[in-house]
């Protein structure tokens, strides 16, 4: 029976199984009343080096140290032996037996370690084989020695087609092979790292691949080969290229729009000066001609044409984001609701107008007239896109834009915004049309039907107010504009218009008018002088300063163009104010300038007269500035 137990012990497959059988054997031979196993980490200090056994404190047993080849496993302590008087004989038998048991435990541990290693290797082999990535083993000369299923799936070659070959056969003609250089670095004990290259598959396709090269070490830590983990990144590269192309297209479009905007703004500014002269002198001429005079109708045609031209320049300035605006804090829902009846009349009875406001909308800071411009232009655009019966939907919503959204949309920035969405179920637009809709004078309508300034005006207003605009459209599926205005923390206010019916009369005040355009300077003097104003005329800032120094009376108001040679209007006003305490000012221009405007918006309290202006516009503004 003991022999059988010894055979079982020697055939143990794990350390735990060997310990269990050792205990069974010692229990069978010595029948202790108490048997305790003390692992190596819990062993008490030995009294002498090389000690193999000791007597228990009770004196009725002994402890045996189990060790093999200088490796200590622990102590097996047997106490309360049934035949205490034979304990010395028992110890003499137990000592050589412990050597055999220790050897059996060591063998069982080695067997268990081998089994674990084999299992781990098998698992690793399975992982390597089942990996979607190509895992390729090579000698230091670059010869392939292992080729997993992932490599076959990526490159198309079976294992027997590549073993013994160099990976250079995968490199297409004209492509640089980096592998020899990396293998040289590995032979020198340096890190190889990763790189991207192009491989040719068995069916002649070209793949973008990412390769991570690492050394293979033997048990002594010597480099004996190299492994490559190869990943197909073709789809990722294509996606990146598409995104890059999209961002480049957006950037080019933005740059193009900015360039066209600068051109449009400059043209509109100069054109406004001329329109101002035409309108002003036509208006004064009409006052001198009786209605039944044939010249009266001609002057009316001149004045009408000038006003229509003013509308075009206003749209150009809106696109160029140089339109003069006076923003207030408002509730967008209220302003849109006030426009609904007018918009319904504009689009006609065949088109249904739906309004879906979000309650408790955040406030925004905008010029109310610009909201009207946006809604009218979008309604006209939608009306022309709908054939017969259709539907237009206007809605508002609060939106928070995060960094990830901005990463995919050039020109956007994170934050809280109020969205104004405008949708129609009209004919929609193709991609080519979408890329041009905001350009001034671009139109898909027939000759004489549209100017091509409607959507460019919307674009300019949105950008001028630091907002964003997105357009979604497909042919036959309608169009949706989503406009985002920055949230403003403030209370809403009601906007109102001031009625103007006739030119106010002056009180004898002296006005200093500074304008580098001689015709406009002459026009202003001809309008104001008959209205009981004394007008000093200067065609440059330096002449204005000279007149102010030489004039004996009091100058009450400075009327100055914003953009002039030498210094701008605001700089001139600041200088004259030191000479004339209490001097008031009225600025005028075809577009605003940074001198009096912050981000193209007038600061609160600044009097401004946009060009071109009528006689009523000028005189009302002058009176308001003096008051």
Q: What span, in angstroms and rounded, lies between the C-alpha atoms of 23 and 2?
A: 13
CATH architecture of 510-626: 3-Layer(aba) Sandwich (3.40)
Instruction: Measure the N-to-C terminal CA separation of the chain; round to a whole number of Å.
Output: 125
pLDDT above 80 (res 599) = no
Where are the CATH 3.30.565.10 domain residues in the chain? 328-486
Is the separation of the CB atoms in 554 and 510 below 8 Å? yes
List of residues 6+ apart from 177 with CB closer than 8 A? 168, 171
pLDDT at position 325 is 52
- 383-439 pLDDT, tens digit per residue, is 888 888 889 999 999 999 888 777 766 667 888 999 999 999 888 888 877 777 777
Calculate ∠ Cα 166-169-172, nearest 5°: 145
**Beta strands, E only, 294-389:** 328-330, 351-356, 364-366
Is the separation of the CB atoms in 589 and 561 below 8 Å? yes
- 340-366 pLDDT, tens digit per residue, is 888 888 888 888 999 999 998 999 988
Calculate ∠ Cα 508-514-516, nearest 5°: 145
Where are the CATH 3.30.450.40 domain residues in the chain? 2-127
Helix (H) or strand (E) holding 213: strand 206-217
- 108-131 pLDDT, tens digit per residue, is 888 887 767 566 555 655 666 667
Write out the two tokens for 175: 């492509």
Cα distances from 587 to residues 169, 272, 377, 560, in angstroms, run: 76, 15, 29, 5
Q: What is the pTM of this model?
A: 0.40
| Residues 589, 591, 592, 595, Cα dihedral to 10° | -70
Q: What span, in angstroms and rounded, lies between the C-alpha atoms of 523 and 280?
A: 7
Cα distances from 90 to residues 27, 28, 57, 63, 386, in angstroms, run: 12, 12, 17, 11, 109
Question: Average pLDDT of 300-322?
Answer: 61
- 216-275 pLDDT, tens digit per residue, is 877 777 888 888 888 888 888 888 887 777 777 666 666 655 665 555 555 566 666 677
Strands 328-330, 364-366: pairing kind: antiparallel
Helix (H) or strand (E) holding 63: strand 62-68
CA quadruple 374, 377, 383, 386: dihedral sign: negative
Strands across the sheet containing 415-424 = 351-356, 390-401, 415-424, 479-486, 468-473
Question: Average pLDDT of 60-70?
Answer: 88
* Helices and strands (H and E) in the chain: how many: 17, 23
Task: Give me the CATH code for the 131-232 domain, please.
Answer: 3.30.450.20
Strands 144-147, 134-138: pairing kind: antiparallel
Q: What span, in angstroms and rounded, lies between the C-alpha atoms of 452 and 102?
A: 97
Which of 305, 482, 290, 328 lies closest to 398 in space, CA to CA?
A: 482
As a whole number, the mean pLDDT across the chain is 80
Where are the CATH 3.40.50.2300 domain residues in the chain? 510-626
Q: What span, in angstroms and rounded, lies between the C-alpha atoms of 450 and 437?
A: 13
CATH architecture of 328-486: 2-Layer Sandwich (3.30)
Q: What span, in angstroms and rounded, lies between the C-alpha atoms of 548 and 317?
A: 34
pLDDT at position 416 is 92
- 447-462 pLDDT, tens digit per residue, is 444 444 567 778 878 8
Helix (H) or strand (E) holding 18: helix 15-30
Instruction: Report the 10 Å Cβ neighbour count for 170.
Output: 26
Q: What span, in angstroms and rounded, lies between the C-alpha atoms of 79 and 64?
A: 11
More confident residue, 277 or 129: 277
Select from 3.30.450.40, 3.100.10.10, 3.40.50.12780, 2.40.70.10 the CATH code of 2-127: 3.30.450.40
pLDDT at position 490 is 59
Strands 510-514, 206-217: pairing kind: unpaired
Q: What span, in angstroms and rounded, lies between the C-alpha atoms of 142 and 158?
A: 18
């Amino acid at each position: 029976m003991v022999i059988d137990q010894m055979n079982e012990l020697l055939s143990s497959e794990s350390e735990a199984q060997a310990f269990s059988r050792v205990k069974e054997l010692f229990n069978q031979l010595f029948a202790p009343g108490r048997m305790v196993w003390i692992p190596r980490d819990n062993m008490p200090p030995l009294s002498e080096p090389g000690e193999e056994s000791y007597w228990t404190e009770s004196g009725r047993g002994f402890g045996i140290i189990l060790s093999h080849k200088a490796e200590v496993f622990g102590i097996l302590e047997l106490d309360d032996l049934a035949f205490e008087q034979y304990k010395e004989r028992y110890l003499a038998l137990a000592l050589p037996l412990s050597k055999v048991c220790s050897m059996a435990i060591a063998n069982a541990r080695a067997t268990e370690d081998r089994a674990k290693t084999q299992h781990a290797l098998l698992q690793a082999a399975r992982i390597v084989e089942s990996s979607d990535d190509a895992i390729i083993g090579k000698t230091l000369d670059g010869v392939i020695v292992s080729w997993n299923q992932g490599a076959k799936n990526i490159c198309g070659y079976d294992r027997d087609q590549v073993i013994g070959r160099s990976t250079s056969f995968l490199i297409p003609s004209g492509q640089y092979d980096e592998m020899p250089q990396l293998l040289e670095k590995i032979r020198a004990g340096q890190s190889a790292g990763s790189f991207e290259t192009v491989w040719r598959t068995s069916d002649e396709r070209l793949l973008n691949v990412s390769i991570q090269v690492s050394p293979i070490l033997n048990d002594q830590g010597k480099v004996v080969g190299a492994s490559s983990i190869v990943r197909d990144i073709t789809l990722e590269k294509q996606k990146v290229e598409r995104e890059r192309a999209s961002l480049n297209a957006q950037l080019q479009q933005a740059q193009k729009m900015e360039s066209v905007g600068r051109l449009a703004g400059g043209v509109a500014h100069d054109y406004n000066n001329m329109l101002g002269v035409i309108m002003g002198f036509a208006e004064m001429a009409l006052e001198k001609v009786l209605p039944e005079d044939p010249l009266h109708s001609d002057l009316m045609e001149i004045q009408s044409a000038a006003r229509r031209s003013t509308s075009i320049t206003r749209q150009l300035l809106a696109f160029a984001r140089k339109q003069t605006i006076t923003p207030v804090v408002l509730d967008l829902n209220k302003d849109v609701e006030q426009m609904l009846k007018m918009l319904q009349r504009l689009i006609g009875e065949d088109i249904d107008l739906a309004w879906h406001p979000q309650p408790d909308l955040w406030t925004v800071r905008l010029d109310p007239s610009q909201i009207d411009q946006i809604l009218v232009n979008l309604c006209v655009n939608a009306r022309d896109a709908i054939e017969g019966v259709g539907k237009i939907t206007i809605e508002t919503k609060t939106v928070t834009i995060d960094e990830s959204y901005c990463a995919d949309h050039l020109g956007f920035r994170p934050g809280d915004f109020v969205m104004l969405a405008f949708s129609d179920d009209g004919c929609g637009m193709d991609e080519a049309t979408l890329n041009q809709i905001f350009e001034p004078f671009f139109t898909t309508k027939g000759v004489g039907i549209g100017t091509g300034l409607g959507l460019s005006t919307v674009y300019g207003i949105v950008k001028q107010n630091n907002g964003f605009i997105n357009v979604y459209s497909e042919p036959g599926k309608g169009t949706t504009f989503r406009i985002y205005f920055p949230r403003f923390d403030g209370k809403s206010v009601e906007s109102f218009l001031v009625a103007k019916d006739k030119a106010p009369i002056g009180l004898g005040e002296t006005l200093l008018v500074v304008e580098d355009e001689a015709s406009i300077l002459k026009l202003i003097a001809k309008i104001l002088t008959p209205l009981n104003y004394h007008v000093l005329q200067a065609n440059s800032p330096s002449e204005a300063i000279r007149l102010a120094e030489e004039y004996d009376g009091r100058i009450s108001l400075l009327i100055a163009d914003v953009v002039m040679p030498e210094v701008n209007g605001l700089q001139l006003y600041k200088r004259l104010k030191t000479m004339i305490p209490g001097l008031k000012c009225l600025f005028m221009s075809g577009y605003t300038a940074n001198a009096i405007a912050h981000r193209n918006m007038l600061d609160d309290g600044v009097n401004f007269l946009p060009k071109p202006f009528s006689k009523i516009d000028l005189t009302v503004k002058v009176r308001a500035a003096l008051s």
